Amino acid sequence: MTVNLDAVGRSYGPFEPYEVTRVKIREFADAVDAWSGAHRDVAIAQAEGYEDLVAPTTFAVIIAQKAEFHVVTDPEVGVDFSMVVHADERFTHVRPLVAGDVIYTTVHIDDIKQRAGISMVTSRTELVDADGAPVSTVVSTLAVREAA
Amino acid sequence: MTESTSPSFEGLDKGQVVAEREVAFTRDTLVRYAGASGDFNPIHYNDVIAQEVGLPGVIAHGMLTMGVGASVVEEWAGAGNVSDYQVRFTRPIPVPNPGEATVLIKAVIGALDEERRTARVDLTVEFDGAKVLGKAQAVVDCE
């Protein structure tokens, strides 16, 4: 299987929205050792000026990886998922995600570079809230080794 | 009345260590992260599959390492105050069973932007004496 360079510029979504919940924020905060009370206690989050529990910085990966799944499973892109290694990741937040957010995503294939049997596939997932206002951008690059 | 948790920009110095943490990754840590994130790639819990794709055994999710790095920055910056965060994954962290992989995380002020009142925090994340993340940078909004 070979990654198709012509896939650059493809977009997917928007998909069924992701609802950010208090339970998931607490679970994720525990998993990444995020200690702030604003991830767990609504009163603390509100005292810090947020409407509800605040998601940890990388929480958006849950939402982004659901969108990226559509890229890596598109047969016309040609990614063999068993040959994938995560190369880099970047989050840019307009504002933090909070419990109660309903998030819509679209994902775009921004770049594919091929060198020495490895394809670097860069996707950009845009997260917007129920009002259509931008919340976060998640850029992820996967290194895909080509089967010999 | 709300109380912002953003750190004060005044008094910050380039090179200043703002947070440090030693974290022990076990198989339990990985399973917990898999469930919380929805990333069920078997290389993070199944040694046989990990070895089939050329790894020494089960490795930690890169995103777990990145996520814990963010938590160390947040410990200083406050929840919700990191506006930009990027890393490159340069080395895997094998996690033994039984046992643990000890990861050292240090957050240092790398640059200050007076106009935007932001601090760039550079993270070094080390396992077994080697860095596992490259260009790990978080931008923190300050007061």
Count Cα neighbours of B52 within 13 Å in the Cβ-side half-sphere: 9
Q: What are phi and psi of B25, to 5 degrees?
A: -90, 130
DSSP per-residue string spanning B81-140: -EEEEEEEE-S--B--SSS-EEEEEEEEEEEEETTTTEEEEEEEEEETTEE-EEEEEEEE
Contact check, Cβ <8 Å, A90/B86: yes
Contact check, Cβ <8 Å, B36/A34: no
Please, which residues have CB within 8 angstroms of residue B71's CB and are 6 or more apart in sequence?
A: A32, A33, A34, A35, A56, A57, B21
Contact check, Cβ <8 Å, A33/B23: yes
pLDDT at B2 over 70: no
Q: Residue A103: its pLDDT value, please?
A: 98
Tell me chain B's radius of gyration from C-alpha atoms. 17
How many Å apart are CA B103 and CA B67, to the nearest integer?
13
Residue B137 lies in a domain: yes
Q: Residue A148: its pLDDT value, please?
A: 54
Contact check, Cβ <8 Å, A56/B70: yes
Query: Between A and B, how many CB-CB pairs are < 8 A?
Result: 123
Residue B80 lies in a domain: yes
Ranges of chain A whose pLDDT falls below 70 = 147-148
What is the residue extent of each domain of chain A? 5-20+59-145
Q: Residue A146: its pLDDT value, please?
A: 81
Q: Residue A81: its pLDDT value, please?
A: 84
Contact A122, A98 (CB under 8 A): no
Best mutation target, A48, A53, A54, A57, to test chain B (most B CBs within 10 A): A57
Q: What is the ipTM of this complex?
A: 0.97
pLDDT at B1 over 60: no
pLDDT at B53 over 90: no
Q: Which residues of B touch A65 (CB under 8 A)?
A: 37-39
Question: CA of A101 to nearest chain B CA: how many angstroms apart?
Answer: 14
Residue B78 lies in a domain: yes
Q: Residue B5: how many CB atoms within 10 A of its CB? A: 21
Q: Residue B4: its pLDDT value, please?
A: 77
Q: Residue B30: its pLDDT value, please?
A: 98
Please, which residues have CB within 8 angstroms of residue B56's CB and are 6 or more apart in sequence?
A: B50, B94
Contact check, Cβ <8 Å, B3/A87: no
> Can you give the residue range of the structural domain that contains B122?
17-24+61-141
Residue B19's pLDDT band (cuts 50, 70, 90): very high
- CATH classification of A5-20+59-145 is 3.10.129.10, yes or no? yes
Q: Which residues of B touch A32 (CB under 8 A)?
A: 33, 36, 64, 67-68, 70-71
- 3-state secondary structure (DSSP) of residue B35: helix
Residue B98 lies in a domain: yes
Residue B7 lies in a domain: no
pLDDT at B56 over 70: yes
- 3-state secondary structure (DSSP) of residue B21: strand
How many Å apart are CA B44 and CA B62, to the nearest integer?
10
pLDDT in tens, A43-71: 999 999 999 999 999 999 999 999 999 99
Question: The domain that contains B90 carries what CATH number?
Answer: 3.10.129.10
Contact B24, B102 (CB under 8 A): yes
Question: CA of B15 to nearest chain A CA: how many angstroms apart?
Answer: 23
Best mutation target, A23, A26, A32, to test chain B (most B CBs within 10 A): A32
Residue B4 lies in a domain: no
Q: Residue A147: its pLDDT value, please?
A: 67
Q: Which residues of A touch B2 (CB under 8 A)?
A: 46-49
Residue B121's pLDDT band (cuts 50, 70, 90): very high
Q: Residue B97: its pLDDT value, please?
A: 96
Residue B70 lies in a domain: yes
Residue B75 lies in a domain: yes
Question: CA of B14 to nearest chain A CA: how many angstroms apart?
Answer: 23
pLDDT at B58 over 90: yes
Contact check, Cβ <8 Å, B80/A88: no
Q: How many domains, chain B? A: 1
> Between A33, A49, A85, which is nearest B71 by CB?
A33
Contact check, Cβ <8 Å, B86/A49: no
Count Cα neighbours of A91 within 13 Å in the Cβ-side half-sphere: 32
Question: CA of B27 to nearest chain A CA: how many angstroms apart?
Answer: 12
User: What's the predicted TM-score (pTM) here?
Assistant: 0.97
